[in-house]
Amino acid sequence: MLNSKIDQVRLGIIGCGRIADLNIQGYLDHPKCELVAVCDINEALAKKRMQEWGAKKYYTDFEKLCADPEVNAVEILLPHTLHLPAVISAARAGKHISLQKPMCTELWEGRKMVEVAKQAGVWFRVTENFMYYPPFRLMKKYLDAGEIGTPLSIDMRLAGGAGGWWVPLKTWLWHIDPERCGGTPAVYDDGYHKLSIAKFMLGEIEKVKCWLDFTFAVVDVPSLVTWKHKSGQVGVWEVETGVNLMMNHKYYGADEWVEITGTKGVITGTRCTSRLMEIPPLILYKDGQHIAIDDIRDDWADSFHDAGWHFIDSLLEGKQPDLSGEDALYLMKFWKAIWKSSCENREVSLSEIKEEAEQTNA
């Protein structure tokens, strides 16, 4: 099945909550993607989404959507503890899978997903949108083209603030509950994007050292994460929240800053989720000059759109989409090393992170 191309992607969306507003965008306007079905445990929401997005049918049970022969691929947007059963169900029904990050709550679950998808012969990716944010894609191109020389370091900041679009309280609660989320809300859940960007820009990680503090007992801010890439560059990620810091936003009340320093220049991405500062989304400094790049798509939704297109295009071409299951497992190990470093207050090498044995109740 992996070698066979498909002419048309007939998609099922599993999970119709808040983030689906963004994930759906690329699928709706891709000429070779047909939205066949949607699924949500909340029937009223599933019906509403079916009408809003022009799907043919709706389900309230993901097993039933997966059994639908008309569907040949699924986008899974469920709470983290449901990722494993949904991936197993989709893979065994022969559907190609795009799973929303973070991959899993435990490493063995991620390994199981990779194995099940491989056995079923379906493409499997764990999507995260930051890698498709147009200014970050361009940043990577400049980096690879040697515009700033040899990269020396990456510096990232997450500023959380007041406001943001409406998210149901129940959704917030499972997101900040370590047991149901699988980790912490900032450095693990949202952080998956940043860890992905660090790896995307500068490659694999050798070791980490960090400090996670907590607000409200469970929200891991302020925090500071540092690491060293295998290729020698250092990375730092600072995470903070200003309770009265009003964000200029359309989505979540948070904004990002990514800066890479090289031997002959600096390149800075100034926004992503929000618009904390109205300055160009990408600034390149080289040869003593600032070059502001502002003629580029820079809405956060663009990154979701392009992530959707990438999945569809990959299936049409019969090739593995980026952000494979193995890549996602790597990012999970990056997170586990961060957590271990914070708990044990020491430097942790990624090679110390071992996958646990599968639990029998899976």
Partner 1 sequence: MPEFLARLIARVVFSVLRYWILHRSDKHLARSLRLVRRVAFALSGDQMVLSALTDLVEIFEAGGKDTELIRRMARETTPEYARAILRSLMRKD
Please report, as ranges, the residues that interact with partner 1 according to CB under 8 A.
162-166, 168-170, 173-174, 176-177, 179-180, 215-218, 243-244, 253
Distance in Å, CB of 23 to partner 1, minimum:
18
- The nearer residue to partner 1, 133 or 252, going by C-beta atoms, is 252
- The nearer residue to partner 1, 1 or 162, going by C-beta atoms, is 162
> Rg of the chain over CA atoms, in angstroms?
20
Distance in Å, CB of 213 to partner 1, minimum:
12
Closest CA to 83 of 181, 188, 192: 181
φ, ψ of residue 55 to 5 degrees: the values are -75, 160
Distance in Å, CB of 292 to partner 1, minimum:
31
For residue 205, list its beta bridge partners: 229
- The nearer residue to partner 1, 22 or 131, going by C-beta atoms, is 22
- Sign of the alpha-carbon dihedral angle for 53, 56, 61, 66: negative
Distance in Å, CB of 232 to partner 1, minimum:
40
Strands (E), the chain: 9-14, 33-39, 57-59, 73-76, 96-100, 124-127, 151-164, 205-212, 223-229, 234-246, 252-262, 265-269, 282-286, 289-293, 348-349
Tokens at residue 151, please?
């990269």
- The nearer residue to partner 1, 161 or 308, going by C-beta atoms, is 161
- The nearer residue to partner 1, 32 or 180, going by C-beta atoms, is 180
Distance in Å, CB of 170 to partner 1, minimum:
7
